[in-house]
């Protein structure tokens, strides 16, 4: 599925593909197929039935599924019905013990796994690019600006180090929330998995293992991990937005300390052909405007009714998808900006002379200390990357 114009203006094809119909149906079928496999292992259904379910998943026809899901009120109902219809001899072996929400929540978790890896790839790249700027310009004197007025001496590397720390911290939070959120949902009708009897717990744990997700008590109406993930994405977007705010301010022609890299066909104006707009910043700032409200929607939906709620959990998946889309659009755009950032050292140094301090060496030394500390923290963050994904 090709992304729409509106979606592409804010995000990347790769991230949009993580949440399109193909990905959603694939994730839902993965749940059904692996559930059947585990059920067969535990003697709940026959091995032949599990093979049949896998075959039905393989040949699944998704045409018209959107309308069917909308009519039913949930994707699982037509999806399960089609699987059953495809293997009449083993129809009873499909979706055993599971609820519609088990499919929906687990499919979302599987999409989140892919999406987080993609996002982290570019967050890593962006952070490393900023670390390079911080290191390279640790001693480049620059004019600090506070409350949008000239203030005192910093270094340009210190400014980059500040961006870096914000992004590393946001990414660290995202990793924590990801570990809480990438979990299997398998609770059946009311969360206890009672239809599977005594093997319920074992089936749950084995399915989590197979899917690379965390096993946890059914979380049908306990949505803190979704809200936490959304908030972490919102904070990532906010940290990127801060970088974009600064780059766009520093790129004003009256300041002209940095510029987004020149890319043919990007950042033009249909009314003023020779203009050069900060298009990467535009994408990131736009995301930073849209994200906070999306996060609030996840929080507002938390008080879900009793064992499984009405409307609350159904509101989450599109919002999580939108937050990943905005986050990756922003991160991807600003990675390009950071990697190719044009830094006018001459202009920066010239402006630095306007700082009032007479202790310029001390001020520069203090800025370099900030950079050193930030880079040490970044090194620690890089070292933690290896442990980012459980399983």
Q: Which residues are catalytic?
A: 269, 308
Q: State the Cα–Cα distance between residues 74 and 30, nearest whole angstrom.
A: 17
Please answer whether residues 364 and 155 qualify as being in contact, where contact means their C-beta atoms are separated by less than 8 angstroms: yes
- 241 makes contact with a second copy (CB under 8 A): yes
Write the DSSP symbol of residue 317. H
- In degrees and rounded to multiples of 5, residue 146 shows phi and psi of -130, 145
Q: Which is nearer to a second copy, 124 or 228 (CB)?
A: 228
- 380 makes contact with a second copy (CB under 8 A): no
Tell which positions 68-107 bind a second copy, by CB under 8 A.
69-77, 80, 95, 98-100, 103
How far from the centroid of its chain's Cα atoms is residue 42's Cα? 35
Q: Point out which span in 48-56, 126-134, 360-368, 381-389 binds a second copy (CB under 8 A).
A: 360-368
- Tell me the closest approach of the beta carbon of residue 251 to a second copy, in angstroms: 7
Q: Which is nearer to a second copy, 47 or 359 (CB)?
A: 359
Please answer whether residues 390 and 215 qualify as being in contact, where contact means their C-beta atoms are separated by less than 8 angstroms: no
Q: Point out which span in 4-12, 44-52, 131-139, 382-390 binds a second copy (CB under 8 A).
A: 4-12
Tell which positions 104-143 bind a second copy, by CB under 8 A.
none
- In degrees and rounded to multiples of 5, residue 306 shows phi and psi of 50, -130
Instruction: List 145's β-bridge partners, or say none.
Output: 150
- 59 makes contact with a second copy (CB under 8 A): no
Closest listed residue to residue 331, CA positions, set 137, 163, 162: 163
Tell which positions 149-168 bind a second copy, by CB under 8 A.
149-154, 158-159, 161-162, 165-166
How far from the centroid of its chain's Cα atoms is residue 172's Cα? 12
Angle (nearest 5°) at CA 199 between 196 and 200: 55
Q: State the Cα–Cα distance between residues 282 and 271, nearest whole angstrom.
A: 17
Task: Kindly state the tokens that stand for 12.
Answer: 């990347």
- 258 makes contact with a second copy (CB under 8 A): no
Q: State the Cα–Cα distance between residues 135 and 227, nearest whole angstrom.
A: 36
Angle (nearest 5°) at CA 86 between 83 and 88: 105
Q: Point out which span in 50-58, 115-123, 131-139, 235-243 binds a second copy (CB under 8 A).
A: 235-243
Please answer whether residues 172 and 381 qualify as being in contact, where contact means their C-beta atoms are separated by less than 8 angstroms: yes
Could you say which of 51, 255, 343, 382 contacts a second copy (CB under 8 A)?
A: 255
Could you say which of 38, 309, 328, 338 contacts a second copy (CB under 8 A)?
A: 309
Could you say which of 131, 175, 281, 334 contacts a second copy (CB under 8 A)?
A: 281
- 7 makes contact with a second copy (CB under 8 A): yes
- 218 makes contact with a second copy (CB under 8 A): yes
- 292 makes contact with a second copy (CB under 8 A): yes
**Those residues with Cβ within 8 angstroms of residue 211's Cβ, 6 or more apart along the chain or in another chain:** 30, 31, 34, 106, 109, 110, 184
Closest listed residue to residue 30, CA positions, set 118, 113, 114, 110: 110
- 384 makes contact with a second copy (CB under 8 A): no
Q: Which is nearer to a second copy, 47 or 293 (CB)?
A: 293
Write the DSSP symbol of residue 214. B
- 386 makes contact with a second copy (CB under 8 A): no
- 31 makes contact with a second copy (CB under 8 A): no
Q: Point out which span in 6-14, 33-41, 46-54, 122-130 binds a second copy (CB under 8 A).
A: 6-14
Could you say which of 36, 301, 328, 331 contacts a second copy (CB under 8 A)?
A: 301
Q: Which is nearer to a second copy, 21 or 47 (CB)?
A: 21
């Amino acid at each position: 599925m090709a992304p729409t114009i509106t979606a592409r203006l804010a995000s990347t094809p790769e991230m949009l593909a993580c949440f399109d119909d193909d990905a959603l149906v694939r994730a839902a079928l993965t749940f059904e197929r692996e559930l059947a496999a585990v059920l067969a292992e535990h003697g709940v259904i026959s091995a032949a039935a599990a093979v049949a379910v896998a075959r039905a998943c393989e040949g699944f026809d998704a045409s018209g599924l959107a309308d069917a899901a909308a009519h039913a009120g949930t994707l699982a109902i037509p999806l399960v019905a089609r699987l059953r219809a495809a293997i009449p001899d083993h129809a009873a072996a499909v979706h055993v013990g599971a609820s519609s929400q088990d499919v929906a929540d687990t499919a979302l978790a599987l999409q989140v796994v892919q999406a987080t890896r993609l996002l982290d790839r570019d967050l890593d790249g962006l952070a490393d690019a900023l670390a390079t700027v911080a290191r390279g310009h640790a001693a480049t004197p620059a004019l600090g600006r506070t409350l949008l007025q000239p203030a005192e001496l910093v270094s340009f590397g210190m400014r980059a180090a500040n961006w870096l720390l914000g992004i590393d911290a946001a990414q660290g939070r995202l990793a924590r929330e990801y570990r809480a959120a990438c979990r299997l949902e398998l609770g059946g009708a009311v969360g206890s998995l009672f239809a599977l009897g005594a093997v319920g717990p074992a089936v749950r744990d084995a399915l989590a293992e197979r899917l690379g997700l965390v096993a946890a008590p059914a979380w049908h109406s306990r949505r803190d991990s979704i809200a936490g993930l959304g908030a972490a994405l919102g904070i990532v977007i906010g940290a990127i937005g801060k970088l974009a705010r600064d780059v766009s301010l520093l790129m004003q022609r009256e300041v002209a300390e940095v510029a987004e890299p020149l890319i043919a066909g990007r950042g033009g104006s249909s009314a003023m052909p020779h203009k050069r707009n900060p298009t990467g910043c535009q994408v990131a700032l736009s995301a930073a405007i849209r994200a906070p409200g999306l996060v609030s929607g996840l929080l507002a939906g938390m008080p879900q009714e009793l064992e499984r709620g009405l409307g609350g959990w159904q509101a989450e998946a599109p919002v999580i998808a939108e937050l990943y889309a905005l986050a990756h659009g922003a991160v991807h755009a600003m990675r390009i900006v950071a990697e190719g950032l044009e830094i006018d050292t001459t202009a920066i140094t010239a402006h630095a002379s306007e700082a009032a301090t007479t202790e310029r060496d001390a001020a520069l030394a203090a800025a370099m200390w900030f950079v050193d500390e930030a880079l040490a923290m970044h090194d620690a963050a890089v070292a933690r990357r290896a442990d980012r994904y459980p399983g």
